Amino acid sequence: MSVTPENRGDLSRRTLLQRAAAAGLLVTPAAGLLSACAGSSPEKSNTGGGTKSKDNPFGAKDGSAVKVVIFNGGLGDQWAKEDKAIFNKKHPNITVNMSSTQKIKTEEQPKMATQPSDLIMNSGADSMDRATLVNEGAIEPLDDLLKAPAWDGEGTVEDSLLPGTVSDGTQDGKFYVVNVAYTVWGNWYDAALFQKEGWQPPVTWDDFFALAPKIKAKGMAPYVHDAIHGYYPRWALMASIWKAGGKQVVIDIDNLKDNAWKADAVLKGLEPWEKLVKDKLLLAGKLDHTQSQQAWLDHKAAFIQVGTWLKNEMAKTIPPGFELTLSDYWSNTGDAAPKDVYASSGEGFVVPSKAPNKEAAKEVLRAILSKEGSAKFAELTKSLASTKGSGDNVQDSALASANSVMKNASGLISVRIWDWYADLEKEGQNLSEEFMAGRLTARQFVDKMQAAADKVAKDPNVKKQTRTS
C-alpha cells in the first residue's frame, strides 16, 4: 500500500492491518494521548436533540457537521467520496467534512486530548497505536453500532459483516475498531506469463523450489518482497507458522505462553523462508512496497507476497496483458493446516472519545458498511469490503482469484499479538527484516522473538490480553 497497509490487524494490512502500524512512533505511557491536556474537559456533542429512528438510530442531528479523515493509501479515497454521497442521500442536512492524508498519527494524535476529528481511518505506517488508544480511553466502544439496523438490508450491522470482522476490532471484550476492507494475503504471479512459459503455479514449498531454477534460467528472480517495512514479510512468516502447526501454535504466541516461539512447528514454518534467502532466490536490493511491486510487474521477479490491495495500488503501472493472480501461501508436506488462508478485516475506523459529533460519525460508518457502499468499494479498489457480498458483481481477475482462494479455505489465519503489544510489534518488524535479509537464521529469529515475548510477559506494567479462539 502506499505507505501502507495496514495493520489492516495483523489482521490487518494497515490495521490492515492496523495492521501494520509503525509502533516505533508511539507515545510513551508517561506522555499518553490524553494526558497532554490533563484537566481539559471533553467537548460537548453538537448533536444533542437529534430524533432517533430506524434510519437514524443514533439521533444524528440535522444542521450538524461531522469531520471524517480518510487514510489515502493503496486503496485510494474515491470509495470514501462515494460513501459520503450515499450518506447525504439519507441525511442531506448533515455536512460531511471529509479529508484525506497518509499522516494519520502526525496530524490526528495531537488533537485527541482536545477536540479531535469525529471519525478517523487509523491506518498506514503513520497510524496511532491501537492498544494505546484503547488503554487510555481515547476511542469510543462501538458495540451499539453492531446492534444498529443495517443501512440498506435486513438485520443488524453485525449481521452484515464477514467472519472475523467483529473479533478483529474487539479488545478487552469491547468493539472499538470498524475495519472496512477485507484483505486476503498470499503469493501473486502473472498467470499470462506462467501460461506462456508452461509453468505450473506451486502449491507446496517443494513445488516452488523445483520451479525456481526454471525461473532463474529466464533471467528472473523467483521472489521479491518489501524489505523496508517489516510487517510485510511478517505476514508471510506468520502464515507459514500457522500452516505448519495449526491455530494453537499462534494462539500460544498471542497469549505469551512460555516458549511458544520455540515450538517445533514455528521452526518448521520458517525453514523454507530461510532456504529461500540462503539459496539467493530473492531479487537483490532493498526495495520498499511499491518498488518491489513494480519490479514484479516488470517481470524482474516471478512471485511477490502482499494483500489484495495490490491491484488498486499499482493500477497506473500494470502492463497490458499482465494477469494479476493470487495463490495461497505455500505449505510444507505434513503441515497441520495447509488450507487455512490468511484473510482478515483491516483499514480500521475509530471514533475518538472526545469527538464532538459521535452520533453522525456512527451514521457515516453505517453508510460505509452498506451494501451500496461496499459494492462501490470493491468496484473501485478491486479488493473485498468487510460487508458480505461486496465483490459479487465485480468482474475482475485479481478479485476473482482472491475469491477462489477464500472458497478453498478450510479456516482463517489471524494473529493478535501485534495489535496488543506495541514493543513486540516493533520487534517483530525488526526481526522479520533481519531474517529476510539473511542476517538471522530461523533459530536465531525464534530465540530473539522468544526473548522479546518473555520481556513483555514479565512486565507488570503491560496489560495482558487473552486469546481463546
Length of the chain (residues) = 469
Please write the tens of the pLDDT for every residue from 386-427. Answer: 999 888 888 888 988 998 898 889 999 999 999 899 899 999
Between helix 78-90 and helix 371-381 the angle, nearest 10°, is 160
> Which residue pairs, CB below 8 angstroms and at least 24 apart, start in 207-214?
207/330, 208/272, 208/303, 208/330, 209/272, 209/275, 209/279, 212/279, 212/281
pLDDT at 309: 87
pLDDT at 242: 98
Please state the domain extents for the chain.
23-183+344-407, 186-342
Residue (of 265, 243, 180, 173) closest to 413 by Cα position: 243
Tell me if 15 sits within 8 A of 83, measured CB to CB: no
- The residues, any chain, with a CB within 8 Å of residue 105's CB and separated by 6 or more, are 22, 25, 126, 127, 128
Tell me if 127 sits within 8 A of 26, measured CB to CB: no
User: Which pTM does this prediction carry?
Assistant: 0.74
Taking the alpha carbons at both ends of the chain, their separation in whole angstroms is: 29
pLDDT at 284: 95
pLDDT at 9: 38
pLDDT at 32: 56
Task: List the grid coordinates of 328.
Answer: 495461497
Distance CA 80, CA 309 (A): 15
Q: Does domain 23-183+344-407 have CATH number 3.60.10.10?
A: no
pLDDT at 344: 86
Beta bridge partners of 260: none
pLDDT at 48: 54
Q: pLDDT per position in the chain (469 positions), as tens?
A: 333 333 333 434 333 333 333 222 223 333 455 544 333 333 444 445 589 999 999 999 999 999 999 999 888 999 999 999 999 999 999 999 999 999 999 999 999 999 999 999 999 889 999 989 999 999 999 999 999 999 998 899 999 998 889 988 998 899 999 999 998 999 999 999 999 999 999 999 999 999 999 999 999 999 999 999 999 999 999 999 999 999 999 999 999 999 999 999 999 999 999 999 999 999 999 999 999 999 999 999 999 999 998 998 899 999 999 999 999 999 999 999 999 999 989 899 999 999 999 999 999 999 999 999 999 999 998 888 999 988 888 888 898 899 889 888 999 999 999 989 989 999 999 999 999 999 999 999 999 999 999 999 999 999 999 998 8
Between helix 264-278 and helix 231-245 the angle, nearest 10°, is 130
Mean pLDDT score across all residues of the chain: 89
Please write the tens of the pLDDT for every residue from 119-134. Answer: 999 998 899 999 899 9
pLDDT at 11: 39
Q: Domain 186-342: give its CATH superfamily.
A: Periplasmic binding protein-like II (3.40.190.10)
Task: Answer whether 23-183+344-407 and 186-342 agree in fold.
Answer: yes
Tell me if 45 sits within 8 A of 384, measured CB to CB: no
* Structural element, H or E, at residue 223: strand 221-224
